[in-house]
Every structure is written in structure tokens, then in C-alpha cells.
Amino acid sequence: KKEKKQREPRFAFLTKSEIDHLEDGYRWRKYGQKAVKNSPYPRSYYRCTSQKCTVKKRVERSYQDPTIVITTYEGQHNHQCPATLRGNAAGMLPPSLL
């Protein structure tokens, strides 16, 4: 029997914003977009651009409240934040990443 792969920890943030892709200090490459069932807003998929970093993030707009952006991070970065955090972005990261 095949062993079940351990799923990476996930962190989700709800942010009131007109911009879908919020600046969090890391560099991301978009690798997909998908229609979400029962929602007019698509979900975008991103990977961290740092070598050997496996962190992914999903970004979608809440269909119940379109002013809210839901950002879900999967995994933990294995490197320092490449950009200096400005403004509110530091408040979005779990303490282990600061």
C-alpha cells in the first residue's frame, strides 16, 4: 500500500482589498488559474520563485463579499524574504516567517 504524503501546513488570510495579488515581500510566479464552483471569481495559483522553495499560494476573491481577498499559503519558505516588507505586509505573515 502506498504511504500517504504529509500535507504541508496551510495559512489563510482574509484581506479587504481592491487588488487581488497583494504584496507580501516574496516573489511569485503564476502557474495557473481556475474557475471556482458557485463563484464568478477565478482562483489564481502561484509558486515561490526561489530555488528549491516549494511554497505555493492560492488567491481568490470571496463570492460572499467581493471586497475580501482570500490568500492561502501552503508550506514554509526555506529562505529569507527577498524584498523588504513595507506597510501592512508584515502583519500577514505567521510569526515563524518574520
Q: With 70 as the cut, is the pLDDT of residue 38 above it?
A: yes
For residue 75, which amino acid is it?
A: G
Query: Which DSSP string do the residues of 17-31 spell out, in sequence order?
Result: -S-SS---SS-EEEE
| Residue-level pLDDT at 92 | 53
Sequence-distant (6+) residues with CB within 8 A of 34 are 42, 43, 45
Put simply, whether the predicted model's pTM sits higher than 0.95 gets the answer no
Q: Mind listing the pLDDT tens digit for each residue in 1-30? A: 666 667 778 989 899 988 887 888 899 999
Domains of the chain listed by start with CATH number:
23-93 (2.20.25.80)
